[in-house]
C-alpha cells in the first residue's frame, strides 16, 4: 500500500460513525489474531493410544539441570557450601535419662 493510499484510508476512517468504528475494530482484532489451522476429522477410525510408559523419577541433579534450562534457577546449588560440620551450634546436646528417641516414641503412643 502506498503512502497516499494509507493517508486516504486514514481520512476515510475519521469519517466513520462510532458503530462503524467498533465494527472496524472487531475486524482488525480478528485479523491480528494468529490463524489456527482448521481441524480436520480423522479419515479413518483412530487406533487406541498405547499406554504411556511410566516416567522414571528425576534424580536431584537432573531436576536441578531442568530448572536451570527452563530459567527457573540462576545457578545450580553447590553442595560443598551446604556442609558446615564445624559449626558449634550443631554439636549434640547431652541429656540425662532415657534416650530422646525412646521418649518421642513413648509419647506418640
Contact 68, 75 (CB under 8 A): yes
Answering whether pTM is above 0.75, one says no
Per-residue pLDDT of the chain (109 residues; tens, 9 = 90+): 788 888 888 888 888 888 888 888 888 887 777 666 667 766 666 666 666 667 888 888 888 888 888 888 888 777 777 776 677 777 778 888 998 899 999 999 8
Contact 91, 85 (CB under 8 A): no
Q: What does 43-90 look like in DSSP terms, one character per residue? A: SSPPPPPPPPPPPPPPPHHHHHHHHHHHTS-SS---GGGG--TT-GGG
Amino acid at each position: 500500500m502506498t503512502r497516499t493510499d494509507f493517508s486516504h484510508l486514514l481520512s476515510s476512517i475519521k469519517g466513520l460513525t462510532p458503530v462503524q468504528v467498533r465494527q472496524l475494530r472487531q475486524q482488525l482484532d480478528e485479523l491480528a489474531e494468529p490463524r489456527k489451522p482448521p481441524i480436520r476429522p480423522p479419515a479413518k477410525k483412530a487406533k487406541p493410544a498405547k499406554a504411556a510408559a511410566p516416567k522414571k523419577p528425576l534424580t536431584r541433579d537432573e531436576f536441578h539441570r531442568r530448572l536451570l534450562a527452563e530459567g527457573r534457577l540462576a545457578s545450580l546449588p553447590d553442595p560443598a557450601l551446604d556442609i558446615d560440620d564445624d559449626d558449634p551450634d550443631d554439636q549434640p546436646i547431652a541429656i540425662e535419662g532415657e534416650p530422646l528417641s525412646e521418649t518421642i516414641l513413648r509419647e506418640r503412643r
